[in-house]
Amino acid sequence: CEAEMGPIDLLIANAGVSTYALPQELDAREVERVMRINFFGAVTATEGVLQGMLERGRGQIVAVSSLASFQGLLRHGSYCASKAAMNGFFESLRLDLVDTGVAVTLITPGFVKTEMTAHSRYPMPFLMDLDPALDIMVRGILRRERLIRFPRPLSTVTWWFRVLPRGLFDWLVGR
């Protein structure tokens, strides 16, 4: 890309596939496929642009994760795991790149009306239209924010779920 278009100053690593699987349907190959697309796709894209950004002393890497990365969800273990891996990796990369001129922004959206959510048969609380979600993301990217979480109500619920006692969390999710 750089050979044809010039230096890349902004990478938005946004890949997301999900699977729905009952425990008795666990398929390691399917988990690996989701990890390859969601996590390793973002890492590979980053590898392709990072050296140039470091040499120029400027750039921004944006990794699109999910609020599902902060908490396991019923029957979506591979998706949650792939996005949790993104959080850990890109948070570490952000710390590694302090004072280099290269910023890392992690975006953790909730449910947004896209092709991925269009066919879901499950409740999607606080489902957002695409345009308002894009506005939030673009504002955060332009400000070079470290973490962008939205929508606020679902982000808040996600945070509370992480601090609840596990027994209470399990009971609530089972409802």
Write out the catalytic residue numbers.
Answer: 79
DSSP secondary structure letters along 121-171: -S--TT-B-HHHHHHHHHHHHHTT-SEEEESHHHHHHHHHHHHS-HHHHHH
Distance CA 130, CA 134 (A): 6
| Strand blocks (E) in the chain | 10-13, 59-64, 102-109, 147-150
Sign of CA dihedral 165, 167, 173, 175: negative
Instruction: Give the integer Cα–Cα distance in Å for 18 and 80.
Output: 9
